[in-house]
Structure 1
Amino acid sequence: MRKKIIRSFMITFLISFLLGFSVLYAVLYMVFLENQRSEQFHELQIIEKMGDDDQEGVGKYLMENDSRLTIIQTDGTVIYDNAVSKIDENHLQREEVQQALDTGKGSTIRKSDTTKQNYLYTAVFDEEDAKVIRLAIPFQGISQSWMVLMPSFLVAFLVALSTVWFISKKMATSIVLPLQKISQTIWTTRIGKEKIHFEEYHYPELSEITVAIESMNEEIGENLNQLEKQKQIRQEFFSNASHELKTPLTSIMGYTELLRTHTITDPKQVDRCLEHVAREGKHMTQLVNDILMVSKLESEEYRAPFSHISVREVLDGLLERFKVQQEKMNLNIVVDCQDLYVYANKGHIEGVFENLISNAIKYNVYDGTVSISCYASGKNMILKVQDTGIGIPQEDQEKVFQRFYRVDKQRSKVISGTGLGLSIVKHIVHFYKGSIELESKEQKGTTITLSLPILVHTIPED
């Protein structure tokens, strides 16, 4: 990178020098040309005031100094030329002659047809004698003067080139050195695991780079922590899932072995064993279905079929299903549900209602109350399920939405469940980009409120 910076500086210098040299050359050329023209016009004014004999005498003098003096009539006929004794060619169409006849004086640069040299021609019109007096000198621009200046120019060029090279080297070092320090700091830091610190630099661009790297390092650290947490969650999930599946399987295998070996022969006991097998099989099926539901909801590619659903019909159907449990605990279920329609997956809506109502019943007290309210708020359906049950300790309230988390381990052995109910509810709420709130006090009860943006106000006829 240092070499590239130095090379860029040198190329920039050379281009700038060449451009500057071209401009300087053009300016000097124009200044030199204008000076030559002014001098020649001044000489012509002096020659114009002389008589014919004096003009010819001056012509001889000018010839010795390699200057041409030509006198031309208004019709273009050359009546005198100090370089050639006789010129038959008409000079009326010469540019400087035309300018002199039109404006009083003229000037041009071209190669002479007679001497085959480049000349600077200047001409003035003598109105008194009705003739054009023209003076021409060999003109090579500033080439001759430039040869004199060339040694000084080369010295100046070499000094400037050396200065630019030295400065570019110093600047390249000042730019590259901080980058090397930044690179060394990155290599010696465990990215994502350690906080990275950089020196303060005078260049705002480098400060932007270091700030961006520090921000990226913090983001990588957060992502690594998140991955570690997800890893722990997966490990806990598989551990809990295997444990939850192993329990009913062990029970099924035990009862099946008793029946297979005919250890139990009493028909009533056999029926009781079969009932246990069926119940554990149903529990295991529910557990597998819940696990699959959570897995689907966590997948970014999961797409569920939607339809227009009557919330009241879903709620009435579920309450009928919980009738036996309600009567067993002598619960008072209070329902306040508006006649709402939502556009969602029916299985999801049933899953939300079922898990929340099931928990409100299972973890309630005898003669308790379950209040269910469902109403519209803008485009959102608000569902609130409140119970008068045992409540959830403050330290467990953030954990109850985790998979397989059970608050009261001892009571969980008595109360059936997969430990996935609230986790499924949370995943469904997130699937619909809604929100969920939990309020609970021990021995007072629990209130869970959902807000889902799935409400529809008009139902299509088809």
Structure 2
Amino acid sequence: MKQIIEWLKRLPVIWKLMISVTLLFLILFATYNFAQYMVLKYWMLNQEQDTLHVMMSQVQDYLEDLPVKGESLQSAETNAYLKNILADNQMIRLLDKDGREQMLATNEFNPLWIKPLPSTIDSLEDVRYGEDHILIYRAPVVINKETGTIEIATNLETFDHFNTTLLWVMVIGFLLAVCMSAISGWAIARQFLRPVKMLALTIQNVKQNGLQERVEHIENGDELSQLAGLFNELMDQLEVSFRQQKQFVDDASHELRTPITILEGHLHLLDRWGKNDPIILEESLQAALQEARRLKGLIQGLLSLSQAESSVIAHSMEPIEIELFMTQQLQRMENVYPQFTFRMNIESKGRRVRIHPLHLEQLLFIFIENAVKYSGGHHEIDIHCYEEKSTLYLSIQDYGIGIPASEIPHVFDRFYRVDRARSREIEGTGLGLAIAQNLIQHYDGEIALTSVEDEGTCVVLSFPTMPL
């Protein structure tokens, strides 16, 4: 039994499904056929028994009336009557109280098959004589005040032949049903597993050919079709993620190579001529310090971006009362950038958002720092906070150099800086907006950016608000 179980476990899924379907149909059809056969068999047997009961009643009534009619048991009329009610393969026999035969009428039935047996009660007996199946009905009768026994026997040859034929028909039907269930089980299993095979083939192709492979569209509309769709969506996300990762590595390598090359150049310069030349020494040290600060900023930006892209926020979210928080941040910004004028208008007084204070502070710092960097000669920055339809909007408007329309779709890409020639003198890593976008997505927020060259840029942050 264990070997059979182990063999079944090693079978392909399509064979397991086919065997399961076949066994299910086999059990259901066998149960139905057996029940149907038994019901028909006993119903037909009861019909034969009822026929014998009717015949017995007729014979009893006729024989008990003989003395009144003046007829004898051996009269032609009596023999004609008994012959008339006999069917094929039947016998009627009258016995006295000692079991001696008094009268006999047969129709293709051998009376030697049945031993005469007197009876004082009604009895029904099912016996076999060789290959013959015989049903015997015995009942007492009183004729001329003499007690006797009437025996009526019928050969159930037709009944048995019908049962045998019915059994063979059911067996053949059962075998045909098993074959059909096996074929249908195979077809159903094959159709059911077709999406799974396509999925497995696609995964194998992904291993060999790369992430561009996809499962062909399946229009079944069932769960397997949904699974194929989800797999394709997952592969799309993975392909985008790997492409972004490759781009990130390329950009990070490029950005890190520049300060490292500059540092290496100045160190070689110091090693050759700067040891005894104060001017070269001072110039190289300042350049090295500047590039070290740039490296530090890049590394911090990469760490912040990695944390922002993590699917798990390390800090717990807290409800923030936006008016108090923005007032505190405005004071800090005025201290950090005293040459700038910050105009703040808060309409959503008393409203709260669920976000960690450090993350909201980081978002504000990124956009206000960009507004300061690219303000040009305009030192005014407007901050507006308002609410619409359970959403809190926080806009930051500057009046600086702005962003060209063709550049706006790319400003959230990593290491992307608008017109590198124009921003060469402006410090930055090109990671701030990418960090902000990844960070705000964890709080179900959005960023909208509009800009006009030489007129300024407006950034709008939106967050779902909390009920008061």
Q: Letter of the 1:145 partner, please give it.
A: T
Cross-structure match for 1:323:
337
Cross-structure match for 2:65:
49
Distance 1:251 1:27, change over 3 A: same
CA positional deviation for 1:360: 1.2
Cross-structure match for 1:460:
none
Q: Letter of the 2:385 partner, please give it.
A: C
Distance 1:298 1:449, change over 3 A: same
Cross-structure match for 1:443:
454
Contact 2:353–2:463 under 8 Å retained in 1? no
Q: Letter of the 1:146 partner, please give it.
A: F
Map 1:304-323; keep pairs closer than 5 Å: 304-307=315-318, 310-323=324-337
Distance 1:236 1:194, change over 3 A: closer
Map 1:8-407; keep pairs closer than 5 Å: 15-51=31-67, 57=73, 67=93, 80=97, 82=99, 109=124, 119-121=136-138, 135-138=150-153, 143-149=156-162, 164=176, 168=180, 172=184, 175=187, 179=191, 186=198, 193=213, 196=216, 208=220, 219-256=230-267, 263=274, 274-307=285-318, 310-323=324-337, 327=339, 331-337=340-346, 338=349, 342-376=353-387, 380-407=391-418
Cross-structure match for 2:209:
none
Equivalent-residue separation in structure 2 for 1:391 and 1:226 (angstroms):
32
CA positional deviation for 1:432: 1.0
Write the deviation string for residues 368-399 of structure 1: whole angstroms up to 9, x where unpaired. Answer: 53211224557644211112222223332222
Which segments of 5 or more consecutive residues in structure 2 lack a partner in the other structure? 1-13, 83-89, 103-117, 128-133, 207-211
Cross-structure match for 2:9:
none
CA positional deviation for 1:298: 1.6
Equivalent-residue separation in structure 1 for 2:313 and 2:426 (angstroms):
32
Distance 1:133 1:319, change over 3 A: farther
Contact 1:434–1:453 under 8 Å retained in 2? yes
The more displaced of 27-36 and 181-190 is 181-190
Aligned-residue RMSD, C-alpha: 5.0
Equivalent-residue separation in structure 1 for 2:146 and 2:402 (angstroms):
125
The more displaced of 297-306 and 235-244 is 297-306
Equivalent-residue separation in structure 2 for 1:166 and 1:342 (angstroms):
66
Which secondary structure does the structure 1 equivalent of 2:421 belong to? helix
Distance 1:136 1:303, change over 3 A: farther
Query: Given the two structures, how large is their TM-score scaled by the length of structure 2?
Result: 0.67
**How many residues in Structure 1 have an aligned counterpart in Structure 2?**
407
Cross-structure match for 1:204:
none
Q: Letter of the 1:300 partner, please give it.
A: S
Equivalent-residue separation in structure 1 for 2:51 and 2:396 (angstroms):
103
Distance 1:236 1:378, change over 3 A: same
Contact 2:400–2:455 under 8 Å retained in 1? yes
The more displaced of 5-14 and 23-32 is 5-14
Which secondary structure does the structure 2 equivalent of 1:401 belong to? coil
CA positional deviation for 1:404: 0.9
Write the deviation string for residues 205-228 of structure 1: whole angstroms up to 9, x where unpaired. Answer: xx738x776665555444434323
Distance 1:425 1:318, change over 3 A: farther
Distance 1:217 1:208, change over 3 A: closer
Which segments of 5 or more consecutive residues in structure 1 lack a partner in the other structure? 71-79, 97-107, 199-206, 458-462
Which secondary structure does the structure 2 equivalent of 1:443 belong to? coil
